């Protein structure tokens, strides 16, 4: 057993709510924190949608078990309350280094000494953050794939300072919440999954932004030629265009040009992905 009982998730966005609900579904007490009531209201809607998804898609899920998971969830805008009794804090705030560093500086003063900190960052190295945590030996990365009830990998990646016992505890915790732990043996931006996925998605975006092909046609050729269930622009819509924009905007000059195109043609028009006004495709949840 991991000896983790109380879990806090920072960020009520798409993946933050998935992490929180999956953890609660597996029997843990979970607190979800975000910076304002509007963010929590959106998070509650995402949790309600997850209840329906679990009942439809998770083997053995019942009305009772999915409601019990909701009952184990608490939502708050009070960071001190969220951190005060946590054994593990999983951070899923926006993919910007300055926001993450500022968040950990606040957490360092609020969380008990025993608390393990884990970042769900998609691309940033934990070593870029560790000096802001106040506990580099109890800090690492724990990265989930989107739709974690179906695509249940959990990549665990520490720094040179991460305690081996902490690493093993988080691997065991991932297993306890129904994930398949993937230990990443040394630091690499993007871990395993995004080292493969991000270049693929960027290549697709380059085709559309460069005027070579329409997004739907890029998706069609990928699905037809490979048998894949989804094309890259369908994946973008699921991941969320805001997440993609944040990653691209912090990249090299070419990545920033792609970010600007994405912002002008989609984000500024309120098209942020599934559950948020549609993205490259109209939103089936609208």
Q: Residue 71: which residues within 8 A CB-CB, separation 6 or more?
A: none
252: left (phi over 0), alpha (psi -120 to 50) or beta: beta
Closest CA to 239 of 122, 149, 141: 122
Q: Quote the CA–CA distance of 269 and 278 in Å, as a whole number.
A: 10
95 is catalytic: no
Closest CA to 250 of 189, 182, 204, 207: 189
DSSP for 32-58, please give it.
Answer: EE-SSHHHHHHHHHHHHHHHHHHHHHS
Q: How many CB atoms lie within 10 A of CB 171?
A: 19
Helix (H, G, I), strand (E, B) or coil at 99: helix
195 is catalytic: no
Check 152, 155, 250, 254 and give the catalytic one: 155
Check 2, 120, 121, 122 and give the catalytic one: 122
143 is catalytic: yes
The residues that bridge with 25 in the sheet, in sequence order, are: none
Check 95, 121, 143, 202 and give the catalytic one: 143
DSSP for 127-154, please give it.
Answer: GGTGGGSS-GGGEEEEEE-SSTTTS-EE
Q: Quote the CA–CA distance of 122 and 142 in Å, as a whole number.
A: 9
121 is catalytic: no
- Torsions phi, psi of 181, nearest 5? -70, 135
Check 2, 121, 194, 202 and give the catalytic one: 194
Active site residues: 122, 143, 155, 194
């Amino acid at each position: 057993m991991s000896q983790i009982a109380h879990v806090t998730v920072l960020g009520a966005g798409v993946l933050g709510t998935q992490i929180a609900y999956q953890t609660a579904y597996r029997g843990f007490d979970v607190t979800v924190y975000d910076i304002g009531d509007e963010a929590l209201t959106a998070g509650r809607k995402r949790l309600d949608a997850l209840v329906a998804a679990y009942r439809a898609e998770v083997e053995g899920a019942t009305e009772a078990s999915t409601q019990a998971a909701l009952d184990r969830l608490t939502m708050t805008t009070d960071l001190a309350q969220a951190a005060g009794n946590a054994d593990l804090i999983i951070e899923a705030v926006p993919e910007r280094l300055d926001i993450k560093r500022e968040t950990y500086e606040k957490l360092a003063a609020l969380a008990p000494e025993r608390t393990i900190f884990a970042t769900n960052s998609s691309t940033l190295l934990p070593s870029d953050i560790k000096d802001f945590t106040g506990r580099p030996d109890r800090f690492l990365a724990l990265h989930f794939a989107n739709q974690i009830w179906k695509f249940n990998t959990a990549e665990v990646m520490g720094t040179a300072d991460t305690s081996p016992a902490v690493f093993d505890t988080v691997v065991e915790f991932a297993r306890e919440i129904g994930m398949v732990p993937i230990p990443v043996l040394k630091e690499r931006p993007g871990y395993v999954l995004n080292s493969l996925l991000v270049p693929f998605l960027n290549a697709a975006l380059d085709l559309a932004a460069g005027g070579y092909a329409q997004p739907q046609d890029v998706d069609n050729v990928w699905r037809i030629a490979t048998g894949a269930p989804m094309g890259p622009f369908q994946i973008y819509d699921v991941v969320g265009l805001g997440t993609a924009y944040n990653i691209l905007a912090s990249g090299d000059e070419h990545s920033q040009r792609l970010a600007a195109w994405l912002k002008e043609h989609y984000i500024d028009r309120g098209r942020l992905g599934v559950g948020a006004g549609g993205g490259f495709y109209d939103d089936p949840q609208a």
